[in-house]
Amino acid sequence: MNSMAHFMETEAFEKLTKKEQLVHQRKLKRVRKIYGGVKNLEKRPDMIIVVDAEMMSSLIDEIEKIKEVESILIAGTNFSRRWKEDSLILANILGHKSIDFILRNILS
pLDDT in tens, 14-49: 999 999 999 999 999 988 887 777 777 788 888 888
- Note the Cα 100 to chain centre separation in Å: 19
pLDDT of residue 49: 84
For the segment 68-84, the average pLDDT, to the nearest whole number, is 78
pLDDT at 100: 92
* pTM (two decimals): 0.58
- Strand (E) or helix (H) holding 93: none
Nearest to 31 by CA among 57, 62, 5: 5
Cα(6)–Cα(15) distance, rounded to whole angstroms?
Answer: 15
- Given phi > 0 = left and psi -120 to 50 = alpha, else beta, which region is 22? alpha
Nearest partner of 40 among 6, 97, 2, 5, judged by Cα: 2
